[in-house]
């Protein structure tokens, strides 16, 4: 039996730890058990999934995940939170096993199991790097659910031609398909943030792309979106060597040199990278 944390318990834990949630670390804690269960449901987990959670904080989502799965590793950057989390889990989920790893998620490249799923409540400034790092470092991950600021979610799920389509959405598309999985009101967080949040669900493609091309494709994506208003002939001149060389590569790839980064799908970016 797993007992989820309520709003009063979360505030009590924070007080016990003399914790003053900081925007720098993105410490906004979900205080509503029903929302926790909604988040877990959106992750589409099966009981046998091996799950890695990033940023467990005081353990609200961790406990929700332990209601669903038996194998969980929680990675927490804040040492004080990591230590307290062990006690919370022993009290609230005594028959469940969860490994707590005190680490910077961006430095984690090996775990005690090969994870099937990644679940995280992440601050906007690290959400994309962390997701991409784990998809690259752990090819076994087939699905991801992240809770991020609504505007970040819009960028992650955007497609070509959209104003919000950019480097994050293009790079995620290398691995699979991101889709909106629900809005989460700011009112269920403590402290209450200034914006609403949203869930993004990511399903990895069943036919992974050629890994050896990834670094080159990502360089093309970075160049294309570095200055969004520039045509690709200009935007990719640094990557290609000159505007003329960029134009030759683009023409070979079947892409208009006058196009802009937001016009290209991941397949287009791959074709451009292949022509260099």
Query: What are the pLDDT digits (tens) for 170-222?
Result: 999 999 999 999 999 999 998 888 889 999 999 999 887 888 999 999 999 99
Alpha carbon distances (Å) from 37 to 3, 31, 44, 62, 192: 12, 12, 11, 11, 19
Tokens found for residue 172: 């995620």
Instruction: Give yes or no for a contact between 113 and 102, defined as CB atoms under 8 angstroms apart.
Output: no
Superfamily of domain 7-204: Vaccinia Virus protein VP39 (3.40.50.150)
Q: Can you tell me the distance from the alpha carbon of 168 to that of 45, in angstroms, rounded to the nearest whole number? A: 24
**Residue 106: per-residue pLDDT:** 97
Tokens found for residue 182: 């629900």
SS3 category, 228: coil
Listed by start position, the domains of the chain span: 7-204, 211-274
**Higher-confidence position of 73 and 190:** 73
| Cβ count within 10 A of residue 86 | 14
H helices, E strands: number in the chain: 12, 9
Overall pTM surpassing 0.75 (yes/no): yes
**Residue 49: per-residue pLDDT:** 98
Pairing of strands 29-30, 117-121: unpaired
pLDDT at 40 over 70: yes
SS3 category, 235: helix
Cα end-to-end span (Å), the chain: 57
- Quick one: average pLDDT of 123-130? 87
CB-based contacts of 103, cutoff 8 Å, min separation 6: 75, 76, 77
Superfamily of domain 211-274: rRNA adenine dimethylase, C-terminal domain (1.10.8.100)
| pLDDT category of residue 23 using cuts at 50, 70 and 90 | low
């Amino acid at each position: 039996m797993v007992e989820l944390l309520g709003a009063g318990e979360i505030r009590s834990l924070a007080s016990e730890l003399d914790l003053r949630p900081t925007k720098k670390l993105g410490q906004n804690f979900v205080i509503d058990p029903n929302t926790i269960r909604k988040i877990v449901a959106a992750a589409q987990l099966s009981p046998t999934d091996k799950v890695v959670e990033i940023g467990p904080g005081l353990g609200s989502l961790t406990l929700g995940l332990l209601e669903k799965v038996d194998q969980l590793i929680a990675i927490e950057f804040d040492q004080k939170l990591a230590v307290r989390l062990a006690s919370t889990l022993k009290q609230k989920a005594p028959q469940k096993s969860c490994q707590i790893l005190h680490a910077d998620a961006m430095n984690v490249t090996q775990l005690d199991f090969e994870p099937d799923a990644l679940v995280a409540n992440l601050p906007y400034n690290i959400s994309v790097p962390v997701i991409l790092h784990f998809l690259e470092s752990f090819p076994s991950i087939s699905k991801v659910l992240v809770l991020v600021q609504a505007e970040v979610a819009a960028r992650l799920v955007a497609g070509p031609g959209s104003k919000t389509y950019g480097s994050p959405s293009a790079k995620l598309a290398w691995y699979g398909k991101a889709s909106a999985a629900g809005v989460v009101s700011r009112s269920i967080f403590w402290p209450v943030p200034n914006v609403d949040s949203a869930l993004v669900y990511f399903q990895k493609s069943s036919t992974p792309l050629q890994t050896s091309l990834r670094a080159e494709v990502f360089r093309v994506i970075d160049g294309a979106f570095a200055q969004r208003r520039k045509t690709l002939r200009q935007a990719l001149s640094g990557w290609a060597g000159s505007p003329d060389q960029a134009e030759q590569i683009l023409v070979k790839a079947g892409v208009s040199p006058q196009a802009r980064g937001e016009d290209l799908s991941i397949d287009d970016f791959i074709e451009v990278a292949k022509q260099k």
